[in-house]
Amino acid sequence: MTKDDKVSVVIALGGGAARGIAHIGILEVLEKNGIEVKGIAGTSIGAIIGALRAANTLEDFESFIRQLDAKGMLKLLDPVVPRSGLFAGNRIARKLDEFIPDMDIEDLGLPFCAVSTNITNGEEVLHASGPVRLPIRASMAIPGVFAPVQVNNQWLVDGGVSSPVPISAARKLCPGLPVIAVNLFNTNLPFEGDLDPIDQTSKAELNRLERLLLKMRQSNKEGRPGLFASLSDTITHMEQRICRFQIAAEEPELVLEPAVFGIGLFDFHQGDQVIAAGTRCAQAMVDSGELDVFKRRYATKRP
């Protein structure tokens, strides 16, 4: 088969905070090589990227994220007196509103589903209809980091608590189509490259609160990880275990795992490099011929 031969699929985009920027590179390579995305289910950052792709605004968001620097990233964080989370999440939500239309999920360009978790009983909650913005905010509410979000009288948190890679949600969204799953939690695949440091000039330009947030990112002189690094790596190790069992049990037809371990929760200012990691992952599947094998196997699988 050639890249002009199309195969219809549904994509399951996993959570992983800033690591999920790799989804952009993966989607671009897949769609250039004959993968026709008919639906997207997303958890956390996967829900954000999925909604942007379904709304046809992903390119605009990509331009923004490629230009985002460390100071701009810190400005998106809004610390609150710790009650239910370190950050309210309002600034991030308002920024996302610039790219995600105020519309119902049913009116997006593709079938789409966001996954969150009911904090009371731990059950997976699927959002495949109704207004798109609030479920996305619930899906990204990492426990202890962002405050829970109330939707339909339920308090909801990050979908990664119940479904780090929303494979079953993808199958329900587009029954009969093969599922391509993207897992961001493989700790055996460290990020390859040098992350951009925050230079001294940038530090001097930060206000008092932003400098405090910066300290929360950094290790101390003894090498003790900073708060953000501790949260990021702890979440990764927990969800990596869930992902292994989930993928084995739910058996997606194809799994992509970009090398993004080491990218921090809030390293959105590393956009170029994280997108490139996603591109490398998907392109390696193209170059090895594995994508062609997948396309031949599922070429006749149409909804």
Catalytic residues: 44, 158
CA–CA distance, 257 with 246 (Å, rounded to integer)? 14
Q: Which two tokens stand for residue 105?
A: 């999920």
Rounded Cα gap, residues 19 and 222, in angstroms? 27
CA distance 32 to 214: 38
> Around Cβ 129, how many Cβ atoms within 10 Å?
12
Which one, of 166, 186, 187, lies nearest residue 252 by Cα? 166
Distance CA 246, CA 181 (A): 11
Task: With H, G, I as helix, E, B as strand and everything else as coil, classify residue 112.
Answer: strand
Contact 88, 80 (CB under 8 A): yes
For the chain, the first-to-last Cα distance in angstroms comes to: 20
Extract the tokens encoding 188.
């055996």
Residues 161, 25: Cα–Cα separation, whole Å = 25
The residues pairing with 150 across neighbouring beta strands, listed in sequence order, are: 155
Element (H, E) at 39: strand 35-43
- Report CA-CA distances (Å) from 268 to 64, 71, 263: 10, 11, 9
- How many residues are listed for the chain in this entry? 303
The Cα 235–Cα 247 span in angstroms is 18
SS3 179: strand
